[in-house]
C-alpha cells in the first residue's frame, strides 16, 4: 500500500469520526430539547379527613376474685353480659373435674345441635341459594379464624359448617339418622353428670360485661373523672406501668356501657374537634370503625389539649384494648387523588395539566383535602375527569402546547 492510499484512508477515517460526533451531539441536543412528560391516570378514591393520635382507653372495671386456689370454669365468653347476683363462674377441686365439666357442656351443646338437625324435614321445590349462602358464610368464618391465627375459634366454625352442610342434605331429601349419635351423647352426658362435683359458684357483684383477662391498668384509672382530665393527666396515663394482679383474680367486669379514649393533641390540630360532635373512630389494630362523641377538650396553656372521646361499642375486641393508635375521622370525601407536585396555578386559578392526543390542556381543580404529598380534588369547580392523564412531570407546560 503506497503512502497516498494510506493518507486517503486516514482522511476518510477523520471525516467518519467527525460525522459520528456531529450526529451524536445533535442527538443529545434533541433529547435535551424535546419535551418529555410523565403522566398518571386520574382515578376516583376515598380519603378520610382525619387526625391520628395515640389513645389510652379508660373503662369502669372491677376485678373478679375467687376464694382459695380452686380451678375455675367461666360461664361466659369475653363480652358476655352478666347480671349482679347471678353466677359467672364455677369452681372445682381439681383440673380434671373442671375439664370434665367443660366436656359436659360441649356434650350438651352437641345434643342440642343434633336434636335441631333431627327435626329438619325434606322440602319440595326448595331454593338452595339460602343454604349455599350459609355454607359459604361458615367457610368464610373458618378461613378467617385460620388466617387471623384464632385457632381457638375453629371448633365453632367447623361445627357451623358441618351443621350447614348436613341441613342442606336433609332438606333436599337425603336420609340421615341421628339416633345412634344422640344415644351415645346421652350416655356420655349421664356418666359425666354423675362424676362431676363442683366446689362452689362465683356470683357477679356488679352487672356489666365479663372479660376473662386483666392487664394491670384496671385499678389505676379514674373513670368518674375522665372528662376532666388535663394534658398532664394524659401524660401520666401513658407513663403508667401495669400493676401485678392477684393470683385469685379470674378476670374483670366492665360495669359501664360507655368507655373513653383519651389523647394529648397539639392545640393547633384541634380546630376541627368540637365538644359533643359525632365522629368516626378507626383503630390501627382492627379494620373496624365505630361511632364516638367528643366528650371533652381540655386545654391548660401548655400547647396541648386533652381530647376525650366517648364510645359505646362493646364486644370482645374493644373490651381488650388499652393503648391504641386511633384515627379520629371528621369527614370522608370522594374525589381524584393527585400528586401535589402536579398542581399548578394559571391566571390565578389552581389546577393541573393533562395530556390528551399529544396536546397539553389546563384543568381547574377544587381541593377537598390535601397533605404534603397529595391533594384530593372533586365537587364544584373541579374540571378533572376520570382517566384524565395528569402530567406529573414536564417542562415549560402551557395550555394548548403540542408534545411530541
232 CA to centre of own chain: 30
Who has greater pLDDT, 124 or 381?
A: 381
If we measure between CA atoms, which residue out of 268, 397, 273 comes closest to residue 330?
273
The answer to whether 206 touches 280, Cβ cutoff 8 Å, is no
pLDDT at 237: 95
Helix, strand, or coil (residue 12): helix
d(CA 275, CA 273): 7
CA dist., res. 218 & res. 204, Å (int): 17
- DSSP state letters, 355-401: EETTEEEEEE--EEEE-SSEEEE-STT----TT-EEEEE-SS--TT-
pLDDT (tens digit per residue) in 268-316: 999 989 999 999 999 988 878 899 999 999 998 899 999 999 999 998 8
What one-character-per-residue DSSP string does 227-259 give? GG--HHHHHHHHH--PPP--TTEEEEEE--S-E
Q: What Rg, from alpha-carbon coordinates, does the chain have?
A: 35
Cell of 63: 376485678
Return the C-alpha cell found at 385: 375527569
Q: Average pLDDT in the 336-359 region?
A: 89
Give the whole-angstrom CA distance, residue 111 versus residue 268: 62
Question: What does the pLDDT look like over 44-91, one tens digit per residue?
Answer: 888 888 899 999 999 999 999 887 777 888 888 889 999 999 999 888
Strand-pairing partners, residue 62, are 253
- Mean pLDDT for the chain overall: 83
Burial of 254 by CB count in 10 Å (0-12 exposed, 13-18 middle, 19+ buried)? buried
**Nearest 5°: CA angle at 291, between 287 and 295?**
130
Q: How confident is the model at residue 34 (pLDDT cuts 50, 70, 90)?
A: very low
Whole-angstrom distance, CA of residue 59 vs CA of residue 76: 19
Which segment, 152-156, 206-210, 330-334, is predicted with the most confidence on average? Answer: 206-210
pLDDT of residue 176: 72
CB atoms within 10 A of CB 214: 20
Residue 257 confidence (pLDDT) above 80:
yes
Average pLDDT over residues 165-169: 70
Q: Which of 332, 388, 336, 331 is nearest to 366 (CA)?
A: 336
Q: With CA atoms as reference, report the closest residue to 189 among 96, 100, 107, 110.
A: 107
* Least confident piece of the model among 2-11, 67-76, 93-102: 2-11
Q: 308 near 298, Cβ under 8 Å?
A: yes
- How high is the pLDDT of residue 66? 83
Query: What residues pair up with 279 in beta bridges, in sequence order?
Result: 292
The whole-angstrom separation of Cα 345 and Cα 349 is 5
Q: Which ranges in 125-230 belong to alpha helices (H)?
A: 129-147, 154-171, 179-195
pLDDT at 144 over 80: no
In this prediction, what percent of the chain has a pLDDT beyond 70?
A: 82
Tell me how long the chain is. 404
pLDDT for 267 equals: 93
What is the mean predicted confidence (pLDDT) over 142-159?
Answer: 67
pLDDT at residue 360 tops 70: yes
Q: Is the dihedral of CA 182, 184, 190, 193 positive or negative?
A: negative
The whole-number pLDDT of residue 265 equals: 95
Q: Give the span between the Cα atoms of 366 and 384, in whole angstroms.
A: 9
Most confident of 61-70, 170-179, 246-255: 246-255
Residue 26 has pLDDT above 80, yes or no: no
Amino acid at each position: 500500500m503506497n503512502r497516498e492510499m494510506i493518507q486517503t484512508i486516514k482522511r476518510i477515517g477523520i471525516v467518519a469520526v467527525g460525522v459520528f460526533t456531529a450526529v451524536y451531539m445533535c442527538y443529545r441536543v434533541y433529547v435535551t430539547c424535546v419535551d418529555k412528560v410523565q403522566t398518571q391516570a386520574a382515578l376516583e378514591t376515598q380519603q378520610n379527613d382525619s387526625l391520628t393520635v395515640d389513645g389510652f382507653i379508660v373503662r369502669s372495671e372491677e376485678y373478679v376474685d375467687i376464694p382459695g386456689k380452686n380451678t375455675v370454669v367461666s360461664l361466659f365468653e369475653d363480652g358476655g353480659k352478666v347480671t349482679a347476683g347471678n353466677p359467672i363462674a364455677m369452681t372445682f377441686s381439681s383440673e380434671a373435674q373442671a375439664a370434665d365439666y367443660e366436656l359436659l357442656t360441649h356434650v350438651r351443646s352437641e345434643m342440642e345441635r343434633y336434636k335441631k338437625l333431627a327435626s329438619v324435614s325434606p322440602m319440595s321445590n326448595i331454593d338452595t341459594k339460602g343454604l349455599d349462602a350459609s355454607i359459604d358464610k361458615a367457610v368464610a368464618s373458618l378461613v378467617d379464624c385460620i388466617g387471623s391465627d384464632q385457632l381457638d375459634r375453629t371448633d365453632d366454625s367447623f361445627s357451623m359448617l358441618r351443621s350447614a352442610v348436613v341441613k342442606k342434605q336433609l332438606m333436599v331429601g337425603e336420609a340421615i339418622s341421628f339416633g345412634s349419635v344422640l344415644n351415645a351423647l346421652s350416655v356420655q352426658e349421664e356418666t359425666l353428670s354423675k362424676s362431676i362435683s363442683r366446689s362452689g359458684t362465683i356470683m357477679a357483684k356488679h352487672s356489666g360485661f365479663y372479660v376473662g383477662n386483666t392487664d394491670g391498668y384496671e385499678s389505676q384509672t379514674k373513670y368518674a373523672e375522665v372528662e376532666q382530665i388535663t394534658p398532664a393527666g394524659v401524660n401520666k396515663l401513658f407513663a403508667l406501668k401495669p400493676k401485678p394482679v392477684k393470683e385469685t383474680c379470674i378476670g374483670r367486669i366492665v360495669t359501664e356501657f360507655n368507655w373513653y379514649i383519651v389523647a394529648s393533641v397539639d392545640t393547633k390540630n384541634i380546630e376541627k374537634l368540637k365538644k359533643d360532635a359525632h365522629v368516626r373512630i378507626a383503630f390501627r389494630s382492627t379494620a373496624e370503625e365505630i361511632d364516638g362523641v367528643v366528650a371533652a377538650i381540655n386545654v391548660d396553656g401548655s400547647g396541648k389539649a386533652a381530647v376525650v372521646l366517648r364510645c359505646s361499642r362493646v364486644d370482645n375486641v374493644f373490651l381488650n384494648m388499652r393503648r391504641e393508635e386511633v384515627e379520629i375521622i371528621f369527614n370522608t370525601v370522594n374525589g381524584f387523588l393527585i400528586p401535589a407536585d402536579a398542581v399548578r396555578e394559571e391566571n390565578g386559578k389552581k389546577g393541573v395539566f393533562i395530556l390528551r392526543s399529544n396536546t397539553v390542556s389546563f384543568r381547574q381543580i377544587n381541593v377537598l383535602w390535601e397533605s404534603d404529598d397529595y391533594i384530593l380534588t372533586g365537587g364544584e369547580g373541579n374540571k378533572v375527569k376520570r382517566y384524565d392523564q395528569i402530567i406529573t412531570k414536564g417542562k415549560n407546560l402551557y395550555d394548548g402546547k403540542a408534545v411530541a
